[in-house]
Amino acid sequence: MGSFPRAMPCKTPVPNMSIGRNRRGRAPMPENPADVLFSPATRAAQERYGSRDYIARLEARGHWKSRLPEDIISFIRTRNSFYLGTASRDGRPYIQHRGGPAGFIHVLDQQTLTWPEFKGNRQYVTAGNLSENNQAFIFLMDYSLPRRIKLWGRAEVVEGCNTLIPDICTHPYYAKTERAIRFIVEAWDENCRQYIPTRP
């Protein structure tokens, strides 16, 4: 099936004219990555169950970041699948699997990812959700290591996907590319390996 060549990193972030704007019910991007992970209700639950002091110490040390380090970027570039979470305006969640050849997720800079949207079941739930609620979540797994990476951010559907990466629409993969999605990372985290089933 082939694989995508690695995209050259951009010297500056890709211009974005809509992600993060406070319009159509969309909240502005938080400045503190920990605020992306932990809502007031989540922090209250941490207090109730006894982990708040520990989490607060990690927050004070700046444990959670919005920029991806090189090892995480390398991990992302080798994935051939991931899970994408979105929600409708009223908060109804939706999880969709995204798959392709290794390298189909392009890392443009430390906060910007993009990937081709291959022709699928034509339900367009993700596209519809992102049109009214740009908050999104990416879950990346490697069951052989095992390892899991979580990315919180904002996403948008991009028509004319060659405007993001030259030739992203023409590739050796068997599926037709209909459009692209651009994802801006607001926060990331790496969980421990506990309970991840190991398989080749």
Mark whether 45 and 130 lie in a shared domain. Answer: no
Whole-number pLDDT of residue 176: 78
**CATH number where 116 lies:** 2.30.110.10
Mark whether 131 and 53 lie in a shared domain. Answer: no
Mark whether 106 and 40 lie in a shared domain. Answer: no
- How far apart, in whole angstroms, are the C-alpha atoms of residue 22 and residue 28? 5
Other CB atoms within 10 Å distance of the CB of residue 32: 14
Q: Is the pTM of this model over 0.85?
A: no
Beta bridge partners of 86: 94
Whole-number pLDDT of residue 5: 47
Whole-number pLDDT of residue 31: 80
Mark whether 46 and 137 lie in a shared domain. Answer: no
| 99 found inside a domain | yes
- How far apart, in whole angstroms, are the C-alpha atoms of residue 87 and residue 135? 7
Profile the chain (200 residues) by mean pLDDT over runs of 10 residues. 44 41 54 94 98 97 96 96 97 95 92 90 94 98 93 93 62 76 97 82
Whole-number pLDDT of residue 160: 72
3-state helix, strand, coil in the chain (%, to 5): 20, 30, 50
Number of domains in the chain: 2
Q: Which candidate, 150, 179, 148, 175, places its Cα nearest to that of 162? A: 179
- How far apart, in whole angstroms, are the C-alpha atoms of residue 164 and residue 9? 12
Mark whether 88 and 152 lie in a shared domain. Answer: yes
Mark whether 102 and 180 lie in a shared domain. Answer: yes
β-pairing, 112-118 vs 81-87, is unpaired
Mark whether 76 and 160 lie in a shared domain. Answer: yes
Mark whether 55 and 86 lie in a shared domain. Answer: no
Whole-number pLDDT of residue 120: 81
Mark whether 37 and 122 lie in a shared domain. Answer: no
| 27 found inside a domain | no
| 39 found inside a domain | yes
| 11 found inside a domain | no
Q: Which candidate, 100, 125, 130, places its Cα nearest to that of 115? A: 100
Q: Which domain holds residue 49?
A: 32-64
Whole-number pLDDT of residue 171: 63
Whole-number pLDDT of residue 165: 64
Whole-number pLDDT of residue 161: 60
β-pairing, 177-190 vs 93-99, is unpaired
- Render pLDDT for 98-123 as a digit per residue (tens, 0 to 9): 999 898 999 999 999 999 988 888 89
Mark whether 55 and 108 lie in a shared domain. Answer: no
| 69 found inside a domain | yes
